[in-house]
Every structure is written in C-alpha cells, then in structure tokens.
Homo-oligomer: A and B are copies of this chain.
Amino acid sequence: MQQSFESLIDNYLPGQSVDCVIIGYASGELKILLLQWKATKRWSLPGGFILKDEDMDKAALRILKERTTLEFPFIHQFYTFGNYRRRDISNLNKELAAMNINSPKVNEWFRQRFISTGYLAMVNLDKAKPQPDELSIKCDWMPADKLPPLIYDHNDIVAKALEYIKMRVHFLPVGMTLLPEKFTMNELRLLYETILQRSLDRANFQRKMLKLGVLIRLEKHFAGNAHKAPYLYKFDKKMYNAFQKEGIGFV
C-alpha cells in the first residue's frame, strides 16, 4: 500500500481534495458513511484526490463509486472548505508511523495545505455496500445526528451538507436515490421529516406531493398488518429529472 500510494501521488493535483458526504437513509434516520483509520482509530469522511487530467466532478464520482460500488445519478457540490488551518496535522508523523509509512514523499503530501470541495450524494442503504479501503479499518454508516468527532473540519462539512439538503428539499423533490424503487407515501413523508427535523401533516403532505406530479401510483402494498394497505409509489423519472435540471427551480 505504502508503495502504491507513493507511486500514485504524482498523478494527483497537489493541495486539492474532494470530501464526500454520502447520506443514506434507514429506519427513520439519516446516516453518513464514515471511515475509521487503522492507525489512529479516528473517523473521517470518505475523500480523495483529483487526478491531474480529471474533472473535479468526475473525481467525486470516482471516489463515490470506490466507496459504495454504486453509480450515482445525482451528486451535488455544496461548498469548498479553504481555511488555512482546517487540517490539524500535528500528529501526522505518529499517524504515518503507526501505518508503517515512512516515505518522505507521502509525509510531504499529507503535510501540504489542502482545499477540499464537498460533494453530497444520497443512496439507498439497502444497495450501498461500504468498502473499507486499505488505510481504513472500518467503513460504516453512522447516524447523522450523533456522529463521533471527525478529523479535520469534517464535522463542519457534514453540517454544511445537512443544511444543503434541507434547503433542497424545500423546492425540489428528494428521495430518488434514498428510498427503494417502490415506497409508500408514509415512507416518503418520514424521509422528509427526518431531513427537515420536524413533523409534517400526513394529509397535507400527501396532497402536496401528488399535486407536484413526480409520483406514480402503483399497486397496493399488503404488508400483513391489521390495517388499510397503503399504495406504493415510484418516482416519475422524467418529472424528477426535469425538476433536478431546472436547478434551483425558482422564478
């Protein structure tokens, strides 16, 4: 590993990184995909570097794919973090030593100042299979509202991402990649409530969503419960995409 990363360094743009906030959703909770580093046991966002001939967006997609083995139809760049002291590297030597890395080149690489751009991706937890990389001990989903302390400014990055998705949900449909293919109106509303951190009136939410025109009603879903069976819905991809492309759909 040590060798391989050292040899890769020359392919990357120095000083630039991408950090991905991968949001998943399960059992009424937003989860964030985190890595735990072998050496330090500290948690961080999955991130990576940009190849010298690679668009930054493409780098984000590549990194996302590496971590989740999924393709993402939508990713959202939400902010770039450029504070001088955003990364605390005071323990870098120890950390690299603990990883058995003694290459001066690698040391120098991580010692640089990095400006990092945050990308948000959303994924259905059933589909995403976290893949810890060689430097990480674990790769796990953690509840967004009680994350452990993360390295550098990664807690700030997550906070910005959550703020960003909260903003989006106010005027754009959200859920395509967070929910399974078919879902009930209740599941969709619970997702919205989780994102917005407040409860929404069931009746009014349903009316509003149906009126928007991004949902297609499917067959009923008999869950075996002793009560009326809800309809299943799926997103009307054309409408959903149209909304996404409109960008911030004001005016």
Contacts and interface: CB of A to CB of B under 8 A. Distances in A.
B84 A163 contact: no
B196 A251 contact: yes
A52 to B, nearest CB: 7
Contact of A55 (B84, B198, B251): B84
B248 A13 contact: no
A54 B84 CA distance: 6
Interface stretch (A2-10, A20-28, A74-82, A174-182): A74-82
Interface of A: 13-16, 50, 52-57, 59, 77, 79-80, 82-84, 113, 115, 117, 163, 166-167, 170, 196-198, 247-248, 250-251
Given A163-B247, A197-B251, 19 more contacts: A13-B115, A14-B14, A14-B15, A15-B15, A16-B115, A50-B82, A50-B115, A52-B113, A53-B84, A56-B82, A56-B115, A59-B82, A77-B79, A77-B80, A82-B117, A163-B248, A167-B250, A170-B250, A198-B251
A28 B57 CA distance: 37
Contacts of A59: 82
Q: Which 5 A-B pairs have the closest CB atoms?
A: A56-B82, A80-B80, A167-B248, A55-B83, A55-B84
B82 A57 contact: yes
Contacts of A79: 77
Nearest to A169: B250
Contacts of A198: 251
Nearest to A79: B77
Contacts of A197: 251
Given A14-B15, A167-B248, A251-B196, A56 B83 contact: yes
B80 A117 contact: yes
A11 to B, nearest CB: 13
Most chain B CB within a 10 A radius of its CB, from A16, A55, A166, A198:
A16
A247 B167 CA distance: 10
Contact of A82 (B53, B55, B167): B55
A83 B59 CA distance: 10
B251 A166 contact: yes
A82 B52 CA distance: 11
